[in-house]
Structure 1
């Protein structure tokens, strides 16, 4: 009979002093650099400590080990991307524009601000086991995709996104191609223009998830708006 999996130890909590908080920020900053440059397997807490001019024991004061530190680095990186996406989505005019913004921002930030971390997530994200990162990344991935799920749910509620396809499948239809494109760009080092790729992807993707007759309804609304504007212009010139 298999024994139950061991529970991960709770994250160490930094003391509430300003000096300790700054130390944690420094460790995370340098940790991001080292994990980006070395990948998870070859990164070491020893190198992180050396770059900071502190002892490795000081790193372990705030983090149980490399796995927890790497998870926190990715968590903070995801939080930064989520903040950009959540701030920009409400400024887009409709569901299609919001979806294109999500795809473009996702590709742009993964490519221009976090290529090394992107490679780490793609290569380690599916790994399993007590020391692997895949299980640790799962809750981060769910939190990261929450804005997309909300966007798609709102699109279904407004009649812009088809309702006969489950949200989980719609999410996969969006994220699956992006992951493949990032895999090619980052791990196979194929050049990719994030803005051009996002536009092309939406051209193919959106008709597949758009609600039937939604495009026709949008054209009718546009025609009505134009007719109303023309009427207003005619009244003003009379």
Structure 2
């Protein structure tokens, strides 16, 4: 057996151990938050000694950073696959809003509170990592809105960064409210309401009037076609 062949099982075992530690760390950070979580708790959750944790990670902060990166990789990858397949700005916006709420609320508020809270933390390493992860996560929708601005499908008098803040800022308020009240809102209903509200703000200023004019023309055309299809009234017989 060559040295490389002897190393292969060790690498597989090490990768498996890292996966187990990260799964345990995600659970602990979700339940305890970053500041209350300890490497001892993570070791217990993983079924290993605390020394084993330090064999693979320098400390709690590095574990938390990797947990956040892995989590964002998962949810960003889904949007990168799904958003380009959808047709229309409204459909893409609706998908992003619903998926965002579902992802952060479906499994409880643990990862939601961790990401939102540590994104504002004084620890620069965590804040910088989350900022970079958010940049990738928001790119599918931002690319869509940038193209929509160029095509005149949405307002052209609003900077893209404000559109981003409008979309994700409004959802953040919903998420924080869920965290502080410990009440999960109905995701589908909330997503539809938010999408409608955001879309009304993104539409070009004259879009509503144009839509009303198109509706009036369509109704007028339909009525004319209906009249044309009606049989002509029979002529009345003259009385003798």
The normalised TM-score by structure 1 is 0.79
Q: 1:20 — aligned with what? A: 14
2:192 is the alignment partner of 1:192:
no
CA RMSD of superposed structures (Å): 2.6
Distance 2:51 2:62 in 1: 15
- Could you tell me which residue of structure 1 aligns to residue 105 of structure 2? 111
Deviation at 1:59, TM superposition (A): 1.8
Q: How many residues align?
A: 210
Q: 2:55 aligns with which of 38, 53, 61?
A: 61
Residue 83 of structure 2 contacts residue 141 of structure 2 at CA under 8 Å; is this kept in 1?
Answer: no
User: Does the CA contact (< 8 Å) of 1:36 and 1:117 recur in 2?
Assistant: yes
* Structure 1 residue 219: Cα displacement: 8.2
1:154-189 deviation per Cα after TM superposition (whole angstroms, max 9, x unaligned) = 221332122221111110011111000000012322
Deviations 1:99-156 (A, max 9, x none): 01100110011100352110112222201135x7323322122222222211211221
Q: For residues 78 and 135 of structure 2, what CA distance do their matches in structure 1 show?
A: 17
Q: For 1:103, what is the secondary structure of its paired residue?
A: helix
Q: TM-score, normalised by structure 2?
A: 0.78
On the 8 A contact 1:39/1:116 being kept in 2, the answer is: yes
Contact preservation (8 Å) 1:160, 1:214: no
- Give per-residue Cα distances to partners, 1:40-67, cap 9 Å, x unaligned: 1111111211222323232223222111
Matched, 1:144 2:137: yes
1:205 pairs with 2:172: no
135-144 vs 91-100, which deviates more?
135-144
> Mean Cα displacement is larger for which, 141-150 or 27-36?
141-150
Q: Distance in 2 between matches of 1:151 and 1:166?
A: 14
Gaps of 5+ in 2: 1-8, 222-240
Identify which range, 55-64 or 111-120, moves more after superposition. Answer: 55-64
Whether the 8 Å contact between 2:69 and 2:133 is mirrored in structure 1 is yes
Greater alpha carbon shift after TM alignment, 26-35 vs 59-68:
59-68
Distance 1:78 1:218 in 2: 41
2:226 aligned residue: none
SS at 1:17's partner residue? helix
Structure 1 residue 214 displacement after superposition: 4.4
Are the equivalent residues in 2 in contact too, given 1:127–1:135 (CA < 8 A)? no
Shift of 1:16: 8.4
C-alpha distance 160-218 of structure 1, shift in aligned 2 (>3 A): farther
Aligned to 2:40: 46
Offset at 1:217?
6.8
Q: Does residue 166 of structure 1 match 2:159? A: yes
Contact map agreement 2:89 2:144 (CA 8 A) in 1 = yes
Which protein is bigger by CA-based radius of gyration?
A: 2
CA distance in 1, matches of 2:36, 2:196: 40
